[in-house]
Every structure is written in C-alpha cells, then in structure tokens.
C-alpha cells in the first residue's frame, strides 16, 4: 500500500472516514474560493450589475460541467472498487479509459459552452443591462473547460485510491494564483468580468497540470502511462453505467436551478446579486457535508469491492449522523450572521435584503439537504446510482418546476423561489428514509 493512498477496508471506521474527509474539506474550501473570490472582488470593484452577471452564470456553468463531473464520479466508484479488491490490471484499464473519456469530454464541453452560452442566457431572461458581461464571463470560462474536466478526472483517480492530501496541496496553490490574478486583471488591468473568468481558468490549468505530473511520475500501481490512454469498451460501459445516472442527476438539478434563476432574474439585478451572494455562502457552509459525502462514496466503494458489507453499513451510519449534526450547526450560523455575510459581497442595502431573506428561509433546513446528499452518496458507492437520480428527477426537478410555475405568477413573490428548496429537500429526505428502512442495500 502506497503511503499516498489509503485503504478503507480496515482500521477504525470513524477515523478512516474523517481523516480522509478533512483534506477533501480543505480542498473543496479552496476550490470554492475560485468563484467566491470572483464574486467578492467583482462586487466590490465593479459593482452590483457585474456581480449579478457573474452570479447568474453559476447555475448555467454547473449545468454544463455537472453532467461530465457526474460521469467521473462513476469512474471513481469503479476505480475504488478495483483498488479495494486489489485488482491492479482492471484498475489500470479503468484509469486510462477514464482519462481518454475526460479528454474527449473537455473538447465537447468547450464547443457547447462557447456556442450555447448567449442563447441559454437569453432563455433565462437575463436582464439586458447585464447580458453583455454575462456572455463575456461565460464564454471565457468555458474556454477553460478542458482544464476543469481533466482536473476532476485526475482528482477522482487520486481520491479513488485514497489520496485526498495531494489534491489539497494543488488546490491551495491554484487558489492563491486565482486570487492574485483576480486582483491584477480587475483592479490593475481593468479587464472587468472577463478578467475574473480568465483568472479562474488559468489557476484551474495549474491545478490540473500538477495532478497530471503526480500521476505520470508516481511509481505506484495507479501510475498514468500516456501511451496506454485509450478507450476500453467494456470499461466504458462500467463507467457509464455508474456515472451516467449521477451526471444526469447533476444536469437535472442544474437545469432546475436555471429555471429557478430565471424566476430570480424576473425580480431584477438586485435580487440576482443578493441571491447569488447567498449561494456562495451556502456553498462554503455546505463544504463539510460535501466532503463527508465524497469520502463516504469512496469508503463504501472500497469496502464493497473487498466484500466488507457490514463494515460499509457501519460507515454509512456514521456518515449520515455526522453530516446531519454538522449541517444544522452550520445552518444556524448562516441564519444568525446572514446580514454580515451578505455584506462581504455587496454593501448595497437592497442586495443585502434579498440575500438575508434567502438565508433566513434555507438556513434552518440544511439537515434535510445533508441527509439527501449523504444517502445519495452511499447508494452511489454501493452501485445503485439510478435511485438518487430518479429521486432528484422527481423531487428536485419536476416538483420544483411545477411549484414555481404555479406559485410565482399567482403571488408575484420571490418568497416562493426561496421556499421551493426546503420543501423539495423534505420530500427527497422522506423518500430516502423510507427506502433505506425497507431495503437492505448492503446485502
């Protein structure tokens, strides 16, 4: 076993999961700083309209990137299972097939993102006074698609074999680069929102290159051999069968968020900026939960591969309890300190008002969101990724869209947009609770 990889199939369960999750948390923290640094610097140096342009782009970016990201979550499950089973031959094939898929995906995403951004922003009802900056930000952002995709591929490989520390080191470096370039491009070179996007993709290329160097130079059995990068049909089927439902789930959620964003846009740029600022706070606040769910997927995958079913079950229980407690503590903090947190992004009183309203509706219900994400992560680790996909399709897409389509025109109130989230979190949590009670998924 390499000192840079971690086997989850032995040792104290809570220590294995927690010690793996902590570097993931720190890494996610620095990754979250990419867009947050953009928003803080843009909001304070360029104003509320520019902040609205950057904020309105977030849901569209996730819709485009989330699909491919989900595919590589599935790839990580496959790799982790072979790693847990000590099947080096199939692990080698899975790693190199994943890289091949990533390269093609990066090219496809670049073409789609650059081409479709203006039209989708138009469909979203983006206000005319922020349209030009929104298009500029998105198009530059999507020119860096290959870096985002390959970074996710390389990190997925490292995390699958239990290495969560090196991705953290690379993210720290790239995040610092991103913040420095943000200041240089916006404050000194006057490149506007395009400068913020450019800083982000340059820093992401740096982190992807650092991961690549690690994988091609390591002497371990997960070494990336460039000449071996190719498509293996049977392995692609396994990766797609595991990853496609997660990719579809990400896209479904993101598409719904685009619908939600369209409703927010109808209330003007101040609402866009305020709710956008809140979304950055929620992103930060939810990082510990995201980190635990990522750790749980790897943990469960490795133990299923090693046929340690009871151990997988115990780890899942620990993960669910931990994330529920953590999320509710974080939600209370967000609820209490919302005005101060929103003002970090924009001091405009109207922007702060919209952001605080959203914070006060969502904050106390974080435990429902945590439960849904944690059970979904466990099911993906077991190989049942279709189940969370269908739950998200019904609860987080169909019901959200129907709710907004009916309530917003009737009430002309942005409160309906706020409340659609906790309502659908509750529905998905109830389904997962009943499902877990009735089914023995580790047997």
Name the stretches of the chain with pLDDT < 50: 1-3
Over residues 306-357, the pLDDT tens digits come to: 888 889 889 999 999 999 999 999 999 999 999 999 998 888 889 899 999 9
pLDDT score of 324: 94
Residue 135, pLDDT score: 85
Closest CA to 80 of 289, 238, 247: 238
Burial code (b: 16+ CB inside 10 Å, e: under 16) for 312-332 equals bbebbebbbebbbebbbebbe
Helices (H), 233-308: 233-265, 269-285, 287-305
- What pLDDT sits at residue 431? 94
Contact yes or no for 350/270 (Cβ under 8 A):
yes
Q: What's 392's DSSP letter?
A: I
Distance CA 63, CA 248 (A): 10
Q: Where do the structural domains in the chain lie, given as residue ranges?
A: 13-438
**Could you read off the pLDDT of 123-148 as tens digits, one per residue?**
767 777 778 888 888 888 889 889 98
Q: What is the pTM of this model?
A: 0.72
CA-CA-CA-CA torsion sign (187, 191, 194, 198)? negative
CB neighbourhood size of 220 (10 A): 13
> So what's the pLDDT on residue 360?
92
Q: Provide the pLDDT for residue 359.
A: 92
């Amino acid at each position: 076993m390499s000192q840079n990889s971690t086997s989850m199939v032995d040792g104290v369960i809570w220590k294995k999961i927690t010690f793996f999750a902590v570097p993931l948390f720190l890494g996610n923290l620095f990754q979250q700083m990419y867009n947050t640094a953009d928003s803080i610097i843009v909001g304070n140096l360029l104003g509320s309209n520019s902040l609205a342009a950057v904020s309105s782009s977030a849901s569209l970016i996730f819709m485009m990137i989330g699909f491919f990201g989900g595919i590589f979550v599935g790839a990580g499950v496959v790799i982790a299972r072979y790693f847990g089973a000590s099947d080096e031959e199939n692990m080698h094939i899975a790693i190199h097939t994943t890289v091949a898929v990533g390269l093609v995906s990066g090219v496809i995403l670049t073409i789609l993102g650059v081409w479709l951004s203006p039209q989708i922003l138009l469909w979203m009802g983006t206000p005319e006074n922020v349209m030009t900056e929104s298009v500029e930000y998105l198009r530059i952002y999507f020119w860096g698609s290959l870096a985002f995709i390959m970074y996710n591929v390389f990190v997925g490989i490292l995390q699958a074999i239990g290495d969560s520390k090196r991705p953290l080191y690379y993210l720290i470096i790239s995040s610092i680069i991103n913040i420095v370039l943000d200041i240089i491009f916006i404050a000194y070179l006057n490149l506007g929102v395009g400068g913020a996007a450019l800083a982000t993709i340059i820093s992401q290329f740096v982190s992807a290159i650092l991961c690549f160097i690690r994988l091609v130079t390591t002497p371990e059995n997960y070494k990336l051999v460039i000449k071996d990068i190719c498509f293996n049909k049977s392995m692609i089927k396994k990766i797609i069968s595991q990853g496609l439902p997660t990719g579809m789930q990400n896209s479904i959620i993101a598409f719904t968020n685009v619908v939600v964003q369209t409703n927010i846009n109808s209330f003007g740029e101040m609402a866009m900026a305020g709710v956008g600022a809140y979304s950055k706070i929620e992103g930060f606040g939810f990082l510990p939960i995201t980190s635990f769910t990522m750790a749980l997927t790897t943990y469960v995958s490795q133990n299923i591969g090693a046929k340690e079913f009871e151990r997988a079950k115990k780890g899942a229980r620990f993960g669910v309890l931990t994330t529920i407690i953590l999320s509710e503590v974080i939600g209370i903090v967000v609820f209490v300190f919302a005005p101060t947190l929103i003002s970090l992004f924009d001091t405009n009183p109207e922007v702060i008002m919209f952001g605080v309203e959203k914070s006060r509706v969502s904050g106390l219900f974080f435990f429902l969101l945590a439960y849904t994400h944690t059970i979904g992560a466990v099911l993906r680790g077991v190989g049942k990724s279709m189940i969370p996909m269908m739950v998200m399709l019904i609860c987080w897409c169909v019901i959200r869209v129907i709710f907004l389509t009916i309530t917003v025109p009737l009430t002309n109130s942005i409160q309906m947009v706020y409340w659609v989230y906790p309502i659908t979190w509750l529905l998905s949590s109830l389904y997962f609770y009943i499902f877990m009670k009735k089914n023995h998924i580790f047997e």
